[in-house]
Structure 1
Amino acid sequence: MDRLTAMETFVSVIEAGSFSGGARRLNVGQPAVSKSIAQLEERLGVRLVMRSTRGLTPTEAGQQYYERAKRAIEEIDEAELAARGSAAGLSGRLRICAAVTFARLHIVPKMKSFLTQHPELNVDVVLDDRNVDLLEEGIDVAFRMGALDDSSMTARKIGQSARFVVGTPAYFSAAGIPRTPAELASHQAIVYEQRGGGTAWSFRRGSSETAVAVGGRMRVTAAEGVRAAVLADLGVAVASAWMFAPELASGEVQAVLTDWALPPIDLWAVFPTGRMASAKARAFTAFVEATLGADGAAAAA
């Protein structure tokens, strides 16, 4: 049995979630894929996948084999890319992960130029406001905001955005424009219940610092919900310039208390621990960093 082919077949089956899906990815028949996995399990002497009516999932041994096989395939691709020279295009599959709103506004609309530049490359975009397990999800690079929980992660800061208190002109017309942070206590706050959110909003102006406890009738667990609530005139929110970039530019949303500064938010490219970032991941990270710089979205506070 060709060990590399067996590895590629197994990785394709796990990522597709079925033998048939893996066969389609590899453009081979399903019987050939099933036979290859059976032979691999026989050679290793362990069961790698559990089959059910809902598809298949890797066993513990299968998950470990998947992670190492994927890493080995990527390193072989890296070696071939280096041998062909840096002018060679990227190919294969790249899995990225990003928060829903950030990706919708700043990554997905710009993907055409990256895909055009690399016609042999396919990209899986995993959208999740939570910090998913990169190894478990097979992610090559994730884009995360704020402080990183795990200092052992391989990460690179690629941008920073100012944050503001924002609301619509219609909301401020009805509720009044706050002139000091303390006045926010009487406003309806859209509370974001994820990292970087909460009901304690801290401000700085010169050497002065102040914090205010806000409250409101709406709490949401995704940035898309914050956007929808603000645009529906339901209240004010603390948000990065990234989150409301189009509306801040058009005036549909306005920032208030701009003479007070909120802590800025950092954007990190995070790579799976213990693995060298692939050429594909590095290229896409550079693309996102350049895109934000060109748009002026990564404005330092």
Structure 2
Amino acid sequence: MDRLDALRLFVRTVQTGSFTRAGAEIGASQPQASRAVAALEARLGARLLLRSTRRLSPTEAGQRVYEQALTLLAEEEALIAAAAGADREPAGRLRVSASVVFGERVLAPLLTDFLERWPRVRVDVAATDARLDLVAEGIDLAFRLGALSDSALTTRRLGAYARLLVGTPATAARVEADPDLRGALAREGIGFTGTTSAARWRLTKGDEKMDVELAGRASSSNGAVVHRLAREGAGVALLPSFAAQACVAEGKLVRVATDWTGEPVDLHAVWTGRALPVRARAFLDHVAPRLRLDAA
């Protein structure tokens, strides 16, 4: 097995946590895959994997080699495409991560055209409001809303979405009839506990700012549940515009205190390594110009 094939096997072993699964992808048995990685460790003079009865995980040195290997393999793929005289057709399994609502409202409507354009790509959308470990979950490309915490990832800021207050007509009327808007929003606000600012909203109206300390009785770590709570009349939700406007257009919710908006939320594309695989680059190039962002 040459060095690139050994690195490719090592990368898939890290991503799957298993010699058996990684080896099966190239027609190798579990012992053959284990020996190939052991030979790579001997060649590099460093232990790359921690072996346990449940899962294989990278050592500190293994993590560094993994990240460099991703870049090297992506560059090899790009080099082959260039040698072919054109961008090689994207192919293979593409695993994309996004929040539940972003995946449903933004990515899903864009998938059909992408799949028609690139019939050899298979897309798996891992929709969750949890911040997945891209290495452990084998994620090629993730779309993340809000502040980023993992400085080891390569990032591309795509723009920002405004955040709008929404609720049922009855909820909106109740809030807007209260002379103490801050107090009404504090009582009615539905917290999204998937963020560090779950208990506080910062709202703006022109040059005015208003901080609202939430004291509502409903909250959730899942964005789809926050939407449902708002639709059921449990209170006011502060939603990114792509979600809020869709709910309003469907007649399920109305804008509340329309002069006030939340702080914009940034959208980033993130991935491991420096270069994206061809199929992930094609997906990002397809999605980015179709996002209908509110700010650059």
Q: Give the TM-score, by structure 2 length.
A: 0.82
Alpha-carbon distance between aligned partners in 1 of 2:32 and 2:121, rounded to the nearest angstrom: 25
1:116 counterpart letter in structure 2: E
- Contact kept, 8 Å, 1:144 with 1:267, in 2: the verdict is yes
Q: Give the corresponding residue for 1:275.
A: 274
Note the C-alpha offset of 1:113.
2.7
Separation in 2, partners of 1:35, 1:251: 60
**CA deviation after TM superposition for structure 1 residue 139, in Å:** 4.4
- The amino acid across from 1:40 in the alignment is L
> Is this contact kept in 1: 2:182–2:210, CA < 8 A?
no
Q: What per-residue deviation string (whole Å, max 9, x for no partner) do you get for residues 43-94 of structure 1?
A: 4444433333323223333333222222211110011112223343113454
For 1:65, the equivalent position in structure 2 comes to 65
- Structure 1: how far apart are the matches of 2:200 and 2:266? 19
Q: Aligned equivalents of 1:30 and 1:48: distance in 2?
A: 17
Partner of 2:104: 104
Alpha-carbon distance in 2 for matches of 1:181, 1:130: 37
The CA RMSD over aligned residues, in Å, is 3.2
Deviation sequence 1:158-204 (CA, Å, 0-9, x none) = 2432221111235447xx24257842523421112344743433333
The residue matched to 2:263 in structure 1 has which SS? Answer: coil
Structure-2 separation of matches of 1:52 and 1:240: 42
Question: 1:167 maps to what in 2?
Answer: 167
Structure 2 residue identity aligned to 1:103: G
Distance change >3 Å, CA 291–CA 222, structure 1 → 2: same
| 1:239-258 deviation line (CA, Å, top 9, x unaligned) | 11223443221111111111
SS in 2 for 1:264: strand
- Would you say the 8 A contact 1:161–1:265 is kept in 2? yes
Give the total of aligned pairs: 294
Letter in structure 2 aligned against 1:121: V
Moved more, 193-202 or 157-166: 193-202
Letter aligned with residue 287 of structure 1: H
Q: Which residue matches 2:155?
A: 155
Partner secondary structure for residue 263 of structure 1: strand
Structure 2 residues without counterparts, runs of 5 or longer: none
Q: List gaps (5 residues or longer) in structure 1.
A: none
In the alignment, the residues of structure 2 paired with residue 111 and residue 136 of structure 1 have an alpha-carbon distance, to the nearest angstrom, of 24
Shift, 1:146, TM fit: 3.1
Taking a change above 3 Å as real, the CA distance of residues 277 and 40 of structure 1, as seen in their structure-2 partners, is closer
Counting aligned pairs with the same residue, the percent is 37
The secondary structure found in structure 1 opposite 2:291 is: helix
Amino acid at match of 2:215: G
For residues 181 and 123 of structure 1, do their structure 2 counterparts lie closer, same or farther at Cα, with a shift above 3 Å needed?
farther
Q: Give the TM-score of the pair, scaled to structure 1.
A: 0.81
Does structure 2 conserve the Cα–Cα contact (< 8 Å) formed by 1:178 and 1:184?
A: no
Which deviations, in whole Å up to 9, do the C-alpha atoms of 1:11-51 show, x marking residues without a partner? 22222221221133224444432332343334444443333
Q: Equivalent residue of 2:33, what SS?
A: helix
Matched residue, 2:183: 185
Between 223-232 and 148-157, the greater mean CA deviation after superposition: 148-157
Kindly indicate whether the alpha-carbon contact (under 8 Å) linking 2:15 and 2:135 is maintained by their aligned counterparts in 1. no
State the distance in 1 between where 2:247 and 2:65 align: 47
Distance 1:231 1:121 in 2: 36
